[in-house]
Structure 1
Amino acid sequence: MLTIGLIAVIRLTGSDNGFVGNDDVVFLNETAHRATGDIPSEDTSQKREYVILDSNGNTLFDNRIDRSEVLTVETAIQRRYPYTYIKKNNQIIGSVILTDGEKRFDRLRTNIILIYVGCSLVLITAVLAFGAYIRKIVIIPFDKMKNFASYVAAGDLDKPLEMDKDNMFGAFSESFDIMREELKASKARELSLQKKERELVASLSHDLKTPVTGIKLTSELMAAVFSQNEGREFTVTPDMTAKMNNIYKRAEEINVLVSDLFSSTLEDLGEFKVNCTDENSAVIAEVVSKYDDRGLARLSDIPEVMIHIDKIRLSQVIGNILSNSYKYAGTPIDVRSHIEDEFLVVSIADSGQGVSDDELELITNKFYRGKNHGNKDGSGLGLYIARMLMDKMGGELTVSSPNGLCVTLLIPLS
């Protein structure tokens, strides 16, 4: 708009448009009145430049500095010079043409442009100052609140909302910061309660292991007593044997569940410890034999190497995998191994239904159970605990489902 206004001023005040001021009109009228008498003689002190012509266009008076151009009324009209006719007895006897009006107008035009430019600069400066003021009291505080909101959304409640002394949104910003402090306190209380809950679960899990172990030992002892005294003091029926085995089986299931829950809770509390030592790879065959109580595992030759593991934790890993296979597949289990780079690779595969491709990345998550679990009991912790233990031992656990479910363990070499 300023540019358009400037162009309009320059255009409207152009030298070809002419301009007649009040002083020019007065001067022309006075000169024409005097010219009805005697033609004035040339006066070098005269400040105005003008030409007096007779009715035939002949020059009667000319005080211009540059007189090289012959001036006529037609020329004056073309150039928009101020002029007037000299009349006597209602007869036109000549004309007076003012030739210095253009110079005076150029000065006026220049002054108008300078004033316009000056006003524009003042306006631009005012707009910039106002913009800086708005930026300081509105935009910057809102940017701070926007960044503050992003921190809160990301869960970072330690960064306070900075407030300037002259911030017009001071009360608003203060309320936001109070909200942050309340959220931080609430989060701290929630974390404290969660820790107490995990500690309670860990304590209960640990306490439950003692009676479960007692039940297992009692059932084993009763089975041994029945076996030694059968036919002498009493008769052991198949139903009694089945029930005794069922007691042991259920006690073992409870023991596995409690162990997994205890391990998961310790991991959440950050107190789960793994103590790795160098062991012979033959320990894998021992662990598989220990947990293969159904005799479904088919173990191939294991390369003789030294592996860096926590034997108790590796037993828990393999035990969880075999228990999972018993529960959901119930088919023979092939255990194969080979050396690859810095790892002893052990694959444990069954021939069950397996899992779909979209579930492969999920079945090792905490509390996740596959879609084909049916109504079978389970907590969704077995493979999660196994993966977590392998990570802590510096190895890795992966799953695939080419034909059934295959769990691959990467056990680090010594």
Structure 2
Amino acid sequence: DALERNNKAMWRMAENRRKVNAAFAHDLRTPLTVLKGRAEMLSTFAPEGLVDAEQLAEASSAMTRQTERLQRYVESMKDLVDMDECSVAPHAGNVGVWFVRAAAEASDLAHAAGKDFEAKAKGLPRFASFDDIALSRVVENILSNALRYAGSKVSLACEWDEGVLTVRVSDDGPGFADDALAHGCEPFWREASEKRREDSVHFGLGLNICAELCEKHGGGVKLSNAESGGAVVEAFVEAPLADE
């Protein structure tokens, strides 16, 4: 009995470590993709004088934000043993400013993937209490998933209603299969086509990370298919009004 308990405990530790390592690799891809795209743009156009001061400042600001996010993420993950240790810390923040930055980063990712992108917002309050870092991570994970299956475009929408902040990512791909609708937010779950690909970098963790972060933020994740086709992922969190 003691041996069985010890083996089960070791298995759980190994699975937790596997999940943490996979999540770490999964979430590093987004800021690295943005940094790579901006660096390539500057190295291509700056020597020929095709980048003005405003564009240079904007690119520099975007790269600085991604570098700072990498630093914060490495610090938060270095001693993490279990994904359950991930915390959410809501605080007063400007929702509109957050969405503009999230949309800009999403646009960079879509451009890097060769997809069209559009963003829109509705009814956003000036200030609300939410964890902007956690919600940015949610948006990036959902968007990365959408870009993998989109035909030519993805869209990002954000709205606030009665203390709930919702972000919605849609794509024009084949949509979710029935199994994906039922199990897509489970850890390490992947569609059969992904499992057969030896070169796949999809760990089956993106939507699970989103679900865990949203649940800790008083919300959740909903998967569906649009009537016109394509997948739709809605992530919602509690975000009551806050003072400046």
Q: Please, what TM-score do these two structures have when normalized by structure 1?
A: 0.41
Corresponding residue for residue 28 of structure 1: none
Cα contact 1:355–1:372 (8 A) shared by 2: no
The equivalent residue for 2:121 is: 301
Q: Deviations over 1:225-258 (max 9, x none)?
A: 5544459xxxxxxxxxxxxxxxxxxxx9xxx9xx
Aligned to 2:42: 224
Residue 361 of structure 1 deviates from its aligned partner by 1.6
1:408 to 217, 231, 234: 234
Identical columns (%): 22
RMSD (CA atoms): 4.1
Matched, 1:382 2:206: yes
Q: 1:278 aligned to 92, 96, 115, which one?
A: 92
Q: Which moved more, 1:310-319 or 1:291-300?
A: 291-300
Q: Compare relative contact order (CA 8 Å, sep 6+) and give the higher one, 1 or 2.
A: 2
Superposed counterparts of 1:67-78, under 5 Å: none
Distance in 1 of aligned mates of 2:41 and 2:182: 43
Report 1:190-339 matches (<5 A). Answer: 190-192=8-10, 194-195=12-13, 198-199=16-17, 202=20, 224-225=42-43, 227-229=45-47, 266=80, 268=82, 270-282=84-96, 283-293=98-108, 294-295=110-111, 296-305=116-125, 306-339=127-160
Could you say what secondary structure the match of 1:273 adopts? coil
Query: Does structure 2 retain, via aligned residues, the 8 Å contact 1:335–1:346?
Result: yes
Q: Distance in 2 between matches of 1:218 and 1:393?
A: 31
User: Partners of 2:13 and 2:175 in 1: how far apart?
Assistant: 36
Q: Hey, what does 1:396 align to over in structure 2? A: 220
| Alignment-mate amino acid for residue 275 of structure 1 | A
Partner of 1:370 in structure 2?
A: 191
Aligned residues of 1:288 and 1:297 also touching (Cα < 8 A): no
* Residue aligning to 1:65: none
Taking the aligned partners of 1:287 and 1:216, their CA distance within structure 2 comes to: 12
- Residue 222 of structure 1: CA displacement? 6.9
Report how far residue 322 of structure 1 moved. Answer: 1.1
TM-superposed CA distance for 1:383, in Å, is: 0.8
* Structure 1 gap segments, 5+ residues each: 1-182, 232-251
* Displacement after TM superposition at 1:286 (Å): 1.8
1: CA distance between counterparts of 2:81 and 2:90?
17
Quick one: structure 1 residues 203 and 364, their matched pair in 2 at CA, closer, same or farther if it must change by over 3 Å?
A: closer
Q: CA, structure 1 residues 276+197, in 2 after alignment: closer, same or farther (shift >3 Å)?
A: same
Tell me if the contact between 2:19 and 2:83 (Cα under 8 Å) persists in the aligned partners. no
For 1:18, the equivalent position in structure 2 comes to none
Query: 2:122, 2:160 within 8 Å by CA — same for their partners in 1?
Result: no
Q: Is the CA contact (8 Å cut-off) linking 2:17 and 2:81 kept in structure 1?
A: no
Instruction: Specify the alignment match of 1:188 in structure 2.
Output: 6
Say if 1:307 and 1:411, in contact at 8 Å, map to a contact too: no
Q: Distance in 2 between matches of 1:406 and 1:188?
A: 42
Richer in strand (by share): 2
Partner residue in 2 for 1:132? none
- Matched residue, 2:62: none
Task: Count residues in correspondence.
Answer: 204
Does residue 177 of structure 2 align to residue 351 of structure 1? no
Tell me the CA shift for residue 269 of structure 1.
5.5
- Per the alignment, do residues 388 and 203 of structure 1 end up closer, same or farther by CA in structure 2, a change over 3 Å counting? closer
Q: TM-score, normalised by structure 2?
A: 0.65
Counterpart amino acid of residue 87 in structure 2 = K
1:383–1:269 distance in 2 versus 1, CA, 3 Å = closer
Change (3 A) 1:324 1:217: closer
